[in-house]
Structure 1
Amino acid sequence: MAHKRCAGTGRTVTWTEGVIARTPSTSEVKLPESGVFYFARQQARERGAWAPTKLTDNDPLHEELTKEFGPTLQTLLLPHQHEIARRAAAKYMRIARITVTEHPHRVYFVFPTATGPYVLVLPSQKRTWQITAIVLGALAILALVVRLVT
């Protein structure tokens, strides 16, 4: 291009800068829900020593995550259209569910904490139904007595 002041010629380069900002989306994956009582899950959530791990679409899943979460996590880690890669953070903890023949109405849950293993003792599902039936029966008898008295 010609330069008018000095009557010389040369090239000019124009640089354009662009910044692409993207807010990553976050979603929770909570599996499995079965096999562990609600109260045991709550205690593990509050007291447990969770092991954090970082996941990407190219890395193999940790052995602890593959059995229950493998197919779900592999699907979620696949890049979507126009994405280069995906990254996820996960935390996991093993919980042992133990039943003892000498105590058929108890279920023991053991999980790691910062100070060592924690043992949580809960009534079995059968015992919970028995207690529920007794309470409902007592309420029915009480309602019948109140009705007869009035």
Structure 2
Amino acid sequence: MTHEHCAGTGRTIEWTEGIITRTPRTDEVKLPEPGVLYWARKLADQHATWTPTALVDNDPLHARVQKDFGSALKPLLRPHHQEIARRTELKYVRFAKVAVDEHPHRIYYVFPALNRPKVVMQPSPRRTLQIAGILTGVFLLLVLVNRFIA
């Protein structure tokens, strides 16, 4: 380009700057799906202290996660189209489900907590069915009484 004032010549350079932002995709996976009662997971969410882990290769939990959940996690860990990077965060909790012979209608869940273990009592499945049967019977009795009165 020629500069008219001094008759000099030179080149101009234009810089264009852009920022590409990507919204991270977050998938929440709750394992194990089968075999754990819904309320046991809810109790763990409410009462337990979950431990985050990076699952490095020498972590003993790494082998267990691979063995127990590898087939469920494998499809979720495949690279996605145009993926730049990925961070996987796992947290786990170990808890005990305890049945005591002296209390056949109760199940105790023992969760790790910050200061000491947290024990939560729930009715056993058998007791839950008994309560449901009693409530159903009372409801049917009320319906029958209502029909006889009306």
Q: Structure 2 length normalisation: TM-score? A: 0.73
Residue 22 of structure 2: SS of its match in structure 1?
A: coil
Greater shift, 19-28 or 138-147, is seen at: 19-28
Question: 1: CA distance between counterparts of 2:78 and 2:134?
Answer: 52
- How far residue 68 of structure 1 moved from its aligned partner, in angstroms, is 3.6
Q: Is the 8 A contact 1:40 1:120 kept in 2?
A: no
Q: Deviations over 1:42-82 (max 9, x none)?
A: 22112210011236xxx547245334432222332232344
Query: Once the 2 structures are TM-superposed, how far is the Cα of residue 83 of structure 1 from its aligned partner?
Result: 3.5
Does residue 121 of structure 1 match 2:142? Answer: no
Which residue is equivalent to 2:26? 26
Alpha-carbon distance in 1 for matches of 2:107, 2:36:
10
Where 2:89 maps in the other structure, the secondary structure is strand
Name the counterpart of 2:41.
41
Determine helix, strand or coil for the equivalent of 1:27: coil
Shift of 1:113: 0.8
The answer to which structure has the higher strand fraction is 1
Partner of 1:74: 74
Matches within 5 A, 1:1-150: 5=8, 20-54=20-54, 60=57, 62-83=62-83, 85-150=85-150
- Give the Å deviation of 1:130: 1.0
The alignment yields a C-alpha RMSD, in angstroms, of 3.1
CA contact (8 A) 1:54 1:87 kept: no
Question: d(CA) in 1 for partners of 2:15 and 2:54?
Answer: 37
5+ residue gaps, structure 2? 1-6
